[in-house]
Structure 1
Amino acid sequence: MQDFELSPIVAGLWRIADWNLGVQERVRWIEQALELGITSFDHADIYGDYHAEALFGEALKAEPTLRERMQLVTKCGVRLRSAQRQYRVNYYDTSAAYVRTQVEQSLRNLHAEHLDLVLIHRPDYLMDAAALADTFATLTLEGKVSHWGVSNHSASQFALLHGHYRLLTNQVELSALQMNALDDGTLDQAQQLGLRPMIWSPLGGGQLFTGKTEQAVRVRSAMTAIAARYDISIAVLAIAWVLRHPSRPHPITGTGRVEGLRDAVAALDVRLDAQDWYAIWTASKGHPVP
């Protein structure tokens, strides 16, 4: 597991169904991401109402050589109600049968022979950690999944599963507008274990640019001044703020714009002064450090 690395910036495919790209346009988008050094692509079985993986997979089928140049990441474990899945409620399922079914479906969707990393999307309160670890081991032995991790798990939930099977990462939310991961122990745990977290929504779901809340306005004002001093955009600054954390996180983009990918990559060359990092923290919290 030690020789496996995600790219510093990860491309997120949550919204690929909204990008309205044809197959060859999707191929070109992937090629441009790879040219920027973004080689890891983050999916989930439920993205795009269960259609997003297949859209990406069509591009890989059209240009099979792309697969050997990338790391495929996906998630499973959420049973989301949809027209095709008439569940009574949305719920979580980490049973062996369901995880296997979804892994094998993701392989078909993505036209791939194996998945580099699969994450349990949300903490299943009915999870049997020992049984799930056995599922991981079996699917790995079969060559279907190389590495396993989790998403949105608390430090204790991560520790429970990690005690049964070595996990690679915890994908959590972090941005200048959402800082719970700084205080809830998940990033502390990542440093303790030497496992780099993945970060979703590093731009605050776009609220850094358009949000009307008092917090968003404060943060945007502070970041505008700081970004001007560094001669970078707010988008680059937002990613750099996340990257400044010593857990060495992998920010995940959510954009179909190649310029947005370039902004994320540009942040790798920015090293924020600690005072600037804390100035953004202060603006977000609305008060100075204790």
Structure 2
Amino acid sequence: MDKVEINQYVSFSKVIQGFWRAHDWQWTPQELNRYLHELVERGITTMDHADIYGDYRCEGIFGEALKLSPELRDSIEIVSKCGIVLPSERLSWTTGHRYDHSRQHIKQSVDRSLQELNVDYLDSLLIHRPSPLMDPNEITDALMDLVKAGKVKSFGVSNFNKSQYDLLNQCLVCDKLHITVNQLEVSPYTLDIMTDGTLNYMQQDNVKVMAWSPLAGGKLFDLADDKAKRIMAIIGPLAQKYQTSTSSIIMAWLNKHPAAILPVIGTHQISRVDEALAGFDIKLSDQEWFDIYTASLGHDIP
């Protein structure tokens, strides 16, 4: 699988494996280690994390698996996110639910992530969500410290709209600090970033979009949902035409967009991974793409 350049230091695989549910998998380190090898063999090398996933446990679960094959670190890219605080009985400082973009919190979060993941650096650090109290200068100071220490190779954001992106990006001045990634929700079910201009804006600035919930968190398969029924009435016959799965068609739909959307999949079933990869071999026509798009809108285009 070809890779997508994020900056001169980092490239991502076109499909990204997410680990927000890793705690629920209840795998041994050996089982997860085997899965990591299966992913890399298929060209999926980018691993998406956040400090808060699984009540602050998922990074540690991944780190235990990585310890079994330390050489695997040279074959993968690790992304993690910080900036959200969730109450947890495991960590005394997590009092209440809030955003914390302070210099101290960002640096402490990265240090904890590195320790949990059992690595020396992150290929990309993302600010998990924008905050009403976001001080772009303080975030920049934290990132400068992390870059100088060799702990971060690239930087990005998650769930940032155009104005939030601009507010932060105007303070970032060097190659490693330029916002290179924005992780956003997008799927055939959720078109907001396509219709409000966010996706075009990211494309204009060469910011790669990581798509969380590319299958809409399973809503696309809820036949009691009228919107999902409209969309799947188009996707189902296309799956039959191309002799593939509906998930593969969804991946093909995302891949057709010129912004080079990078889907983040959360499965732990290798058969589901293979379905996602199969979508990259399918070339939907423009009409087929628009049929899915207008089904989601619920009306024809002007």
Output the CA distance in 2 between the equivalents of 1:271 and 1:2: 29
Instruction: Quote the residue 2:175 is aligned against.
Output: none
Matching residue of 1:252 = 264
1:108 is the counterpart of 2:115: yes
- Residue 87 of structure 2: aligned partner: 81
Alignment partner of 1:138 is 2:125 = no
Contact 2:10 2:153 in 1 (8 A): no
RCO (CA 8 Å, sep 6+): is it higher in 1 or 2? 1
Residue pair 1:154, 1:184 contacting (<8 A) in 2 also: no
Q: Where in structure 2 are there 5+ consecutive unaligned residues? A: 1-6, 173-177
Aligned-partner residue type, residue 68 of structure 2:
A
Cα distance in 2 between the residues matched to 1:185 and 1:105: 36
Any conservation in 2 of the 1:154–1:185 contact (CA below 8 Å)? no
TM-score by length of 2: 0.93
Number of aligned positions between the proteins: 290
- Residue in 2 aligned with 1:59? 65
Q: What's the counterpart of residue 197 of structure 2?
A: 185
Deviation of the 1:218 alpha carbon: 1.4
Match of 2:155 among 148, 151, 168: 148
Residue 297 of structure 2 is matched in structure 1 by 285
1:84 alignment partner AA: R
- Report the residue type matching 1:272 in the other structure: L
Q: Residue 122 of structure 1 aligns to which amino acid in structure 2?
A: R
- Secondary structure (helix, strand or coil) at the match of 2:126 reads strand
Counterpart position of 1:163: 170
Residue pairs, 1:185-204, within 5 angstroms: 185-204=197-216
Deviation, 1:2, is 2.5
Question: 1:213 — aligned with what?
Answer: 225
Tell me by how many angstroms 1:85 deviates: 4.7
In structure 1, C-alpha distance between the alignment counterparts of 2:170 and 2:252, rounded to whole Å: 32
Over the residues paired in the alignment, what is the CA RMSD in angstroms? 1.3
Instruction: Note the alpha carbon deviations across 1:3-31, whole angstroms, 9 max, x for none.
Output: 42111111011111111211111000000
* Amino acid in structure 2 at the alignment position of 1:167: I
Partner of 1:45 in structure 2? Answer: 51
Deviation at 1:184, TM superposition (A): 2.3
Structure 1 residue 141 displacement after superposition: 0.5
Separation of aligned partners in 2, 1:3 and 1:211: 44
Partner SS state of residue 161, structure 1: helix
- Residue 251 of structure 1 aligns to which amino acid in structure 2? P
Q: When the two structures are superposed, what TM-score results if normalisation uses the length of structure 1? A: 0.97
Partner residue, 1:15: 21
> Which deviates more from structure 2 when the two are superposed, residues 1-10 or residues 17-26?
1-10
| Displacement after TM superposition at 1:183 (Å) | 1.7
CA change 1:211–1:46 in 2 (3 A) is farther
**Which amino acid letter does the alignment assign opposite residue 237 of structure 1?**
I
Q: Describe the SS at the equivalent of 1:146.
A: coil
Indicate the SS of the match to 2:31: helix
Give structure 1 regions of 4+ aligned residues with deviation exceeding 6 angstroms.
none
Match of 1:97 among 81, 104, 110: 104
From 163, 176, 179, the equivalent of 2:188 is 176
- Measured in 1, the distance between the counterparts of 2:254 and 2:243 equals 18
Query: By how many angstroms is 1:129 displaced?
Result: 0.5
Equivalent runs, 1:231-246 vs 2, <5 Å: 231-246=243-258
- Of 27, 31, 35, the residue aligned with 1:29 is 35
Name the residue aligned to 2:135.
128
Find the residue that maps to 1:169 and give its secondary structure: strand
- The AA in structure 2 aligned to 1:255 is T
Q: Quick check: 2:180–2:206 contact (8 Å CA) kept in 1?
A: no
Deviation at residue 88 of structure 1 after TM alignment? 5.5
